[in-house]
Chains A and B, each alone.
Chain A
Amino acid sequence: MTAHTSDLDFAASILLTPGGLDLQSLDTGLDVALGAGIDYADLYFQRTWQEGWVLEDGRVKEASYNIDGGVGVRSLAGEKTGFAYSNQINESALLDTGRTAAGIVRSGQKRAGQPVAITHAEHFYAGIDPLAGLSAEEKVAMLMEADRVARAADPSVSQVSASLSGTYEVVLVRASDGTLAADIRPLVRFNVSVIAAKNGRRERGGAGGGGRYSMATLKEQGAPAIYAKEAVRQALVNLEAIDAPAGQMPVVLGAGWPGILLHEAVGHGLEGDFNRKGSSAFSGRMGERVAAKGVTVVDDATIMDGRGSLSVDDEGTPGQNTPLIEDGILTGYMQDKLNARLMGMAPTGNARRESFAHLPMPRMTNTVMLAGQDDPEEIIKSVNRGIYAVSFGGGQVDITSGKFVFSASEAYMIEDGKVTAPVKGATLIGNGPEAMGRVSMIGHDMAMDTGVGVCGKEGQGVPVGVGQPTLKLDELTVGGTQS
């Protein structure tokens, strides 16, 4: 598919028309933001409709609906950024915020904006309202089904909570480099969390998934039963878990969601802003070996319906599949316009912002390690004593020192080449470039996560995806209690 002016017309009718604006009239606002000494300015219009339904104790206890929207105006001069926003979209708000943003510099040459060039981008998801796909009765029924399935799955299940949430987002970007782009983004998610109690122990299990599609698709996939069963399974595994070991040992990561390792250990360190500023452990290492042979990592915004996918980013650049590491060699950074321009590179469609009230910066979309040759069973067999981690709660990285951590929510001992007892959630810690150098086996079973990730950077949260095959790291520090 190619982009259509109809997307633009639709976005304009949602975002501009109510405040008496149209696409042509944006030139005036943009001209103000492109004040003396400003070399780039953009206007970002956004409206979001969010809906959330929550089940607890066998009943739908809460439901909420939120409408948000406004315009963010940004003026750039060299490395300087002026930014202001308003939740009103009309001419006076546009002129006020434009003047404020352009106030970052007070003198210099007054540039003219480039002629409008409509962004033609492929669509990586359908531009639909995902909330409208189901009736309220059907949404309630999905939550009730999750409750029923989870409770029926095992008598030790004592608490079940489930949630169904969705966001319908319409954005329009107009920039002084001529960019004019619109995007209509659906995003939905279904989550189940259970508490199971047995023999005086209590443990939690959780599962969920979603993507950029309609709530109706979640229903067709059978999301309530799938995630309810998975949450119960995980809770039951954790009820049997023994204390995790402490110290350095081989770690095998399962396929899919454990790709959070890439996100933390590699991804953040390859965002353009950190590298322009020289504050990343990967700074200045372009073309060098930063991972073991066989390791290929991409940031892929083009995965159909993926949670992190973007048809166009928040600066109007089309979403792309960007190679970051190819066969162990660092080959690319993720860029927005500001950092790409200052580094003499091209934007890669990675400019993202939480909302119109936040500044865009280089962010990941779906970060993926490509499949290798190894049989996942052989990978497990190759480990004498180590950990097999299949699910994680979350992670964090210090991009400057390269240190990252992530916390397992489901993991097992590997003893004599076999997966044995489940172990309590242990934190794994390592150094990004070092850990990537210790990847010794890569499975042929590349899988994406189910679509629940949220990445935080400088206080802004955006939805992301991760994916990887089963992976062996020869040595990583495991933070259990059995020393």
Chain B
Amino acid sequence: MAQAFDAAAQQQELVARAEEALTLAKKLGADQAEVGASVDQGLSVSVRQGEVETVELSRDQGIAVTLYVGSRKGSASSSDASSASIKAAVEKALSIARYTGEDPAAGLAEASLMATHLPDLDVHHPWALDTERATELALACERAGSEVAGIHQSEGASLSSGEGVRVYANSHGFVGTQKGSSHSLSCMLIAQDEHGMQRDYDYTSARDPRALRDPQSVGREAARRTLRRLGAKRPPTGTFPVLFDPSLASGLVGHLMGALAGGALYREASFLCDKLGEPLFPEWFSLEERPLEVGAMASSPFDGEGVQTRHNRFIEDGRIASYMLSSYSARRLGMTTTGNAGGARNIRLEAPQESLEALLSRMGRGVLVTELMGQGVNSVTGDYSRGAAGFWVENGQIQYPVEEFTIAGNLMTMFKGLQALGDDIDTRGSIYTGSWLVDAMTVAGD
């Protein structure tokens, strides 16, 4: 029973609101202004042990105004986009701007960089889903997982579907709009043996509901992932090769992108400060961003400040070819923006790939890591130490599950020591990568 969501009308309304805020900001004395506004609506149904557990209808909206008086900046936001709230937000942002300091790097991105090529990237696929249908799909997913022998109980399955509209406009006259959707189905299960309980999960997510995996396969995969953890031991302490599964390898790419981000660089809070042009990975490894890929998770023709996005190559033949910059961080570093206000969009790797079997065989003896816990990554130094769970590997064969150990090293040595990439590419997020085999890390276990 989802409420009707007229994306086109919502978009028109948001554009009108944004323009109202910009006009008002100018009238009240701002030299430059920018507005971001969004409306999202969704339905989420979760089931547990064959029964509906929660039905949640969400509808979120917000408008955020940033304005500049000379080189002083003020921001205000509200969850209510009425004229009165917009006026209050603009006035508040202006009053705040009186107290912030002069910042020569502050301001909008240059007008000449505003996106003019605004193709439809096919990321809006609403799903006319009612509570009954959502419940059926979640139940089917859970049932398929719970039926697998050895599964002790279900933590539930849940189906979420949502769509939304976002608008970014600024006083250069740029108005960018985007409609988007995302849908996901997940299942978490528990298995038990004499040593205790283990849980794991699986999920599928996509912008187009037709691209979701079928519910039964998600349930069965959740069961497989849960059961394989039973009987886990602790691995030996020592230095071993580590194979990161694809979802964790994408986390390593995330750490890389965080360290390449302008905000971390000008704050000297990145282990990649002053490393532009230097080798970081083996020569066979390149990494790029494809913001205009049709239908992908993070596709957009303009970035968070209206700048035309572009095909950036961040790692070229193992070397750092580009940092990842917004106009502000670019000015701070004496460079030009790479169209990355708001982050990277659709990261793709260019490197030879091998099957998981080949990677295991190449590893010989070591640990296949399938779960990481904790926040032990120091972005200033690259030092890395995290809790892990996975499988012990001998002679290229998985021997038994392992848990309650840590893996430690430094991201720079880990990147340098990358041995090979898997062809088991995870396409659920905006970073596509297969498994990563890293030559040596310290494993602390028994």
Instruction: Please give the residue numbers on chain A whose beta carbons come within 8 Å of chain B beta carbons, in ascending order.
Output: 56-70, 79-88, 100, 103-104, 136-137, 139-140, 158-159, 161, 195, 197, 201-204, 244, 246-248, 277-279, 281, 357, 359, 393-396, 398, 400-407, 424-427, 429-431, 477-483
**B57 touching A68, Cβ below 8 Å:** no
Smallest CB–CB gap between A129 and chain B, Å? 15
Partner of A481, one of B96, B375, B408: B408
Taking A59-B100, A429-B406, A479-B408 as given, write out 9 further A-B residue pairs in contact, using a Cβ cutoff of 8 Å, ordered by the A residue number.
A84-B57, A85-B59, A87-B61, A104-B55, A195-B269, A396-B374, A400-B198, A429-B405, A478-B406
Smallest CB–CB gap between A425 and chain B, Å? 6
In the complex, which residues of chain A have a beta carbon less than 8 angstroms from the beta carbon of B406? 246, 405, 426-427, 429, 477-479
Question: Is B103 interfacial (CB 8 A cutoff)?
Answer: yes
**B99 touching A140, Cβ below 8 Å:** yes
Q: How far is the CA of A312 from the CA of B64 in the complex (A)?
A: 31
Chain B interface, DSSP helix/strand/loop, else mixed: strand
**B153 touching A401, Cβ below 8 Å:** no
**B374 touching A405, Cβ below 8 Å:** yes
In the complex, which residues of chain A have a beta carbon less than 8 angstroms from the beta carbon of B278? none
Q: How far is the CA of A375 from the CA of B442 in the complex (A)?
A: 35
**A83 in contact with B57 given A203-B381, A427-B386, A481-B442 (CB within 8 Å):** yes
Q: How far is the CA of A158 from the CA of B273 in the complex (A)?
A: 14
Which of the listed residues A137, A404, A427 has the most CB atoms from chain B within 10 Å of its own CB?
A427
7 A-B pairs with CB atoms under 8 Å apart are A57-B103, A59-B101, A63-B100, A197-B268, A425-B378, A477-B404, A481-B442
Partner of B99, one of A63, A246, A279, A424: A63
Give chain B interface residues in 93-118, CB to chain A under 8 Å: 93, 95-103, 106
Chain A interface, DSSP helix/strand/loop, else mixed: strand
Q: How far is the CA of A88 from the CA of B237 in the complex (A)?
A: 57
**A402 in contact with B75 given A246-B237, A427-B406, A477-B444 (CB within 8 Å):** no
Question: Is B277 interfacial (CB 8 A cutoff)?
Answer: no
**A80 touching B375, Cβ below 8 Å:** no
The 9 A-B residue pairs with the shortest CB-CB distance, nearest first, are A479-B406, A59-B101, A405-B387, A405-B374, A246-B444, A407-B376, A427-B376, A64-B75, A400-B199
**A79 in contact with B376 given A158-B268, A204-B269, A479-B444 (CB within 8 Å):** no
Question: Is B23 interfacial (CB 8 A cutoff)?
Answer: no
Q: How far is the CA of A277 from the CA of B49 in the complex (A)?
A: 10
Q: How far is the CA of A56 from the CA of B85 in the complex (A)?
A: 30
In the complex, which residues of chain A have a beta carbon less than 8 angstroms from the beta carbon of B376? 393, 405, 407, 425-427, 479
Partner-contacting stretch, out of B76-84, B210-218, B251-259: B76-84
Partner of B389, one of A85, A278, A403: A403
Q: How far is the CA of A137 from the CA of B100 in the complex (A)?
A: 10
Provide the B360-395 mask, 1 if CB < 8 A to any CB of A, else 0: 000000000000011110101101011101000000
Q: How far is the CA of A218 from the CA of B444 in the complex (A)?
A: 42
**A100 touching B57, Cβ below 8 Å:** yes
Smallest CB–CB gap between B47 and chain A, Å? 10
Provide the B219-243 mask, 1 if CB < 8 A to any CB of A, else 0: 0000000000100001001110000
**B197 touching A279, Cβ below 8 Å:** yes
Partner of B385, one of A61, A195, A244: A244
Partner of B383, one of A401, A402, A425, A477: A425
**B1 touching A195, Cβ below 8 Å:** no
Q: How many residues of B contact A (CB 8 A)?
A: 78
In the complex, which residues of chain A have a beta carbon less than 8 angstroms from the beta carbon of B95? 136
**B268 touching A202, Cβ below 8 Å:** yes
Question: Is B352 interfacial (CB 8 A cutoff)?
Answer: no
Which of the listed residues A67, A83, A84, A393 has the most CB atoms from chain B within 10 Å of its own CB?
A67
**A64 in contact with B380 given A277-B155, A407-B374 (CB within 8 Å):** no
Q: How far is the CA of A480 from the CA of B282 in the complex (A)?
A: 25
In the complex, which residues of chain B have a beta carbon less than 8 angstroms from the beta carbon of A404? 373, 387
**B380 touching A195, Cβ below 8 Å:** yes
- Nearest residue (CB) in B for A395 is B374
Q: How far is the CA of A85 from the CA of B374 in the complex (A)?
A: 33
Partner of B55, one of A70, A83, A277, A478: A83
Smallest CB–CB gap between A46 and chain B, Å? 11
Which of the listed residues B239, B373, B444, B445 has the most CB atoms from chain A within 10 Å of its own CB?
B444
Q: How far is the CA of A86 from the CA of B39 in the complex (A)?
A: 12
In the complex, which residues of chain B have a beta carbon less than 8 angstroms from the beta carbon of A62? 73, 75, 100
In the complex, which residues of chain A have a beta carbon less than 8 angstroms from the beta carbon of B350? none
Question: Is B150 interfacial (CB 8 A cutoff)?
Answer: no
- Nearest residue (CB) in B for A144 is B101
In the complex, which residues of chain B have a beta carbon less than 8 angstroms from the beta carbon of A424? 378, 381, 383
In the complex, which residues of chain B have a beta carbon less than 8 angstroms from the beta carbon of A159? 267-269
Partner of B190, one of A68, A279, A357: A279
Smallest CB–CB gap between B192 and chain A, Å? 9
Question: Is B54 interfacial (CB 8 A cutoff)?
Answer: yes
**A394 touching B267, Cβ below 8 Å:** no
**B386 touching A479, Cβ below 8 Å:** yes
Q: How far is the CA of A140 from the CA of B102 in the complex (A)?
A: 13
**A87 in contact with B386 given A61-B103, A477-B405 (CB within 8 Å):** no
In the complex, which residues of chain A have a beta carbon less than 8 angstroms from the beta carbon of B197? 279, 281, 400-401
In the complex, which residues of chain A have a beta carbon less than 8 angstroms from the beta carbon of B153? 277-279
Q: How far is the CA of A104 from the CA of B268 in the complex (A)?
A: 52
**A61 in contact with B155 given A195-B269, A393-B375, A394-B374 (CB within 8 Å):** no
Smallest CB–CB gap between B106 and chain A, Å? 8
Partner of B444, one of A82, A84, A480: A480
- Nearest residue (CB) in A for B93 is A65
**A396 touching B57, Cβ below 8 Å:** no
Smallest CB–CB gap between B163 and chain A, Å? 17
Question: Is B53 interfacial (CB 8 A cutoff)?
Answer: yes
In the complex, which residues of chain B have a beta carbon less than 8 angstroms from the beta carbon of A481? 385, 408-410, 442
Q: How far is the CA of A9 from the CA of B445 in the complex (A)?
A: 58
**A483 touching B404, Cβ below 8 Å:** no
- Nearest residue (CB) in A for B88 is A67
**A103 touching B96, Cβ below 8 Å:** no
**B442 touching A482, Cβ below 8 Å:** yes
- Nearest residue (CB) in B for A409 is B378
In the complex, which residues of chain A have a beta carbon less than 8 angstroms from the beta carbon of B80? 67, 69, 87-88
**B96 touching A136, Cβ below 8 Å:** yes
In the complex, which residues of chain A have a beta carbon less than 8 angstroms from the beta carbon of B106? 61
Partner of B75, one of A65, A84, A427, A430: A65
Q: How far is the CA of A468 from the CA of B223 in the complex (A)?
A: 39
Q: How far is the CA of A394 from the CA of B387 in the complex (A)?
A: 12
Smallest CB–CB gap between B392 and chain A, Å? 16
Partner of B238, one of A69, A359, A483: A483
**A80 in contact with B54 given A140-B99, A247-B444, A401-B197 (CB within 8 Å):** yes
